[in-house]
């Protein structure tokens, strides 16, 4: 029997290279790419079990925790979000979700699908929640769980969570934190901040491909899972079963994405070789340069200055600049990808990411020069070279 082949037969992959300066994925570090060429092992091979243990230990160091249940879920960051919610929430339980952007809204939707009684606390996009307001919310609602986004990818806003762990303990509430855009870019100190559960992704601050969701679950959250009266609604995301595979028992659960684990292991090695403080300082330095350049071009960001993330900037488009056409020109003429807006800001912002490996001066200079050309051609006049010059001044002074 002859094999039917597509006509013409698809050729070998050879995409045009891009500089990925959107909200993720970002460019992979060359060492991560090299790690992914390592030959496959079986998912229960003793060598791979050792690699799993090494990856978990490094992940604990990056999350700054000693939580036993710290592992990468075989899913994207949204899978990490769902894994936490489906394990921690039972039908009818009261939860509070604080939302000031697209991904807070996503957490609300997932919690509702878990059957929770969801109390939604909203803030304007680009804003954050004060600790005093959260205290009042917890005092009024007494929820089992408080969910909040640490780094809102849709707005570029940074939510301070350092005081929320002790606050949640006052009201016997679990604290769940979305660290998808913060891990590896800005501090995430799980133990010191008394975070009960946190999740992230592999393709942003860790400079790996998308496909894994690092997460960590503390003792209070584990106790809540053990006390469940109903089974976890997702078999695949049931943390008790996953713990049996990633824990000391190594009981088969699913075929782990071996090559992705290789990538994550190398990404974590890079973070720890650089050092967390040095890495956070690098992101801050490059953000200051980008911000100075954007201001020189006459642009502003959606997030307020006091809560602007260093790794993700939602730049408000000037009047008359077409979102789709402008991003298309950045991509086709300069090979630079930036992200469009989400939700109510679709068509109104460009999201520029300087995450992990891409938080470096060459990326800052390239995107500022490209923005100047595209904006000028769209009728928004920028002083020639002003953005790059402002960024250069920041680097010179630091």
- Co-location of 228 and 281 in the same domain: no
Q: Which of 254, 272, 290 is the last residue of a domain?
A: 272
Per the structure, the complete domain to which residue 193 belongs is given by: 30-272
pLDDT in tens, 201-226: 999 999 999 999 999 999 999 999 99
* 11 within a domain of the structure (yes/no): no
Look at residue 375 and tell me whether its pLDDT is greater than 80. Answer: yes
* 180 within a domain of the structure (yes/no): yes
Average pLDDT for the chain:
96
Look at 102-116, 137-151, 224-238, 246-260 and tell me which has the smallest mean pLDDT: 246-260
* 18 within a domain of the structure (yes/no): no
- Co-location of 85 and 224 in the same domain: yes
Look at residue 12 and tell me whether its pLDDT is greater than 90. Answer: no
CA–CA separation, 231 and 72 (whole Å): 22
* 14 within a domain of the structure (yes/no): no
Q: Which of 272, 290, 311 is the last residue of a domain?
A: 272
Cα distances from 197 to residues 83, 234, 345, in angstroms, run 10, 18, 29
- Co-location of 231 and 289 in the same domain: no
* 364 within a domain of the structure (yes/no): yes
Please state, for a pLDDT cut of 90, what percent of the chain lies above it: 92
* 330 within a domain of the structure (yes/no): yes
Q: Which of 272, 302, 317 is the last residue of a domain?
A: 272
CATH number at residue 309: 3.90.1150.10
pLDDT at residue 250 in the model? 86
pLDDT at residue 192 in the model? 98
Look at residue 1 and tell me whether its pLDDT is greater than 80. Answer: no
Helix (H) or strand (E) holding 97: strand 94-99
Look at residue 341 and tell me whether its pLDDT is greater than 70. Answer: yes
- Co-location of 161 and 249 in the same domain: yes
pLDDT at residue 4 in the model? 67
CA–CA separation, 218 and 162 (whole Å): 16
Mean pLDDT on 136-151: 98
Listed in sequence order, the residues at least 6 apart from 138 whose beta carbon sits closer than 8 Å to its beta carbon are: 96, 146, 167, 168, 170, 171, 173
CA proximity to 215, closest of 196, 193, 194: 196
313 in Cβ contact with 364 (< 8 Å) = no
Instruction: Name the strands in the sheet holding 117-122, side by side, starting at the edge strand that comes first in the sequence.
Output: 69-73, 213-217, 197-199, 174-178, 145-149, 94-99, 117-122
- Co-location of 217 and 304 in the same domain: no
Overall pTM > 0.75:
yes
| DSSP characters over 248-296 | TT----S---HHHHHHHHHHHHHHHHH-HHHHHHHHHHHHHHHHHHHHH
Mean pLDDT on 59-65: 98
* 23 within a domain of the structure (yes/no): no
pLDDT in tens, 116-126: 999 999 999 99
- Co-location of 304 and 194 in the same domain: no
Tokens of 166: 């002790």
- Co-location of 386 and 302 in the same domain: yes
CA–CA separation, 292 and 390 (whole Å): 6
- Co-location of 170 and 93 in the same domain: yes
CA–CA separation, 377 and 382 (whole Å): 10
- Co-location of 132 and 246 in the same domain: yes
Q: For the chain, what is the domain count?
A: 2
- Co-location of 267 and 311 in the same domain: no
pLDDT at residue 350 in the model? 98
Please state, as a whole number, how many other Cβ atoms lie within 10 Å of the Cβ of residue 217.
29
Mean pLDDT on 324-328: 96
- Co-location of 51 and 116 in the same domain: yes
Beta strands in the chain (DSSP E): 19-20, 69-73, 94-99, 117-122, 145-149, 151-152, 157-158, 174-178, 197-199, 213-217, 312-316, 336-337, 339-340, 349-353
Look at residue 22 and tell me whether its pLDDT is greater than 60. Answer: yes
* 2 within a domain of the structure (yes/no): no
pLDDT at residue 252 in the model? 86
pLDDT in tens, 271-303: 999 999 999 999 999 999 999 999 999 999 999
CATH number at residue 258: 3.40.640.10
- Co-location of 258 and 353 in the same domain: no
């Amino acid at each position: 029997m002859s094999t039917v082949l597509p006509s013409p037969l698809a050729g070998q992959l050879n995409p045009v290279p891009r500089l990925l300066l959107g909200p993720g994925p970002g460019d992979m570090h060359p060492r991560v790419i090299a790690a992914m060429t390592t030959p496959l092992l079986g998912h229960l091979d003793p060598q791979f079990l050792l690699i799993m243990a090494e990856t978990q230990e490094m992940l604990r160091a990056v999350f700054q925790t000693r939580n036993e249940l710290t592992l990468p879920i075989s899913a994207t960051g949204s899978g990490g979000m769902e894994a936490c919610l489906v394990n921690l929430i039972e039908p009818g339980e009261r939860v509070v979700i604080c939302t000031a952007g697209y991904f807070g809204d996503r957490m609300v939707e997932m919690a509702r699908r878990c059957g929770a009684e969801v109390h939604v606390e909203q803030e304007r996009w680009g804003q954050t929640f004060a600790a005093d307001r959260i205290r009042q919310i917890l005092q009024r609602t007494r929820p089992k769980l408080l969910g909040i986004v640490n780094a809102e990818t849709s707005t570029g806003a940074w939510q301070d969570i350092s005081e929320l762990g002790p606050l949640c303990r006052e009201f016997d509430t679990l604290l769940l934190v979305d660290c998808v855009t913060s891990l590896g870019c800005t501090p995430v100190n799980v133990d010191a901040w008394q975070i009960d559960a946190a999740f992230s992704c592999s393709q942003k601050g860790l400079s790996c491909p998308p496909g894994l969701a690092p997460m960590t679950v503390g003792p209070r959250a584990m106790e809540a899972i053990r006390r469940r009266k109903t089974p976890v609604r997702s078999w695949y995301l049931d943390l008790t079963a996953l713990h049996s595979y990633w824990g000391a028992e190594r009981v088969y659960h699913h075929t782990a994405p071996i090559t992705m684990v290789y990538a994550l292991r190398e990404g974590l090695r890079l973070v720890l070789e650089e050092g967390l403080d040095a890495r956070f300082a690098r992101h801050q330095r490059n953000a200051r340069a980008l911000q100075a350049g954007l201001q020189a071009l006459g642009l502003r960001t959606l997030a307020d200055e006091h809560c602007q993330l260093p790794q993700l900037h939602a730049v408000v488009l000037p009047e008359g600049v077409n979102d789709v056409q402008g991003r298309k020109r950045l991509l086709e003429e300069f090979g630079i990808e930036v992200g469009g807006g989400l939700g109510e800001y679709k068509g109104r912002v460009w999201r520029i990411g300087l995450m992990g490996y891409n938080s470096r001066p060459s990326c800052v200079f390239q995107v500022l020069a490209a923005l100047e050309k595209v904006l000028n051609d769209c009728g928004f006049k920028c002083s020639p070279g002003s953005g790059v010059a402002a960024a250069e001044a920041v680097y010179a002074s630091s």
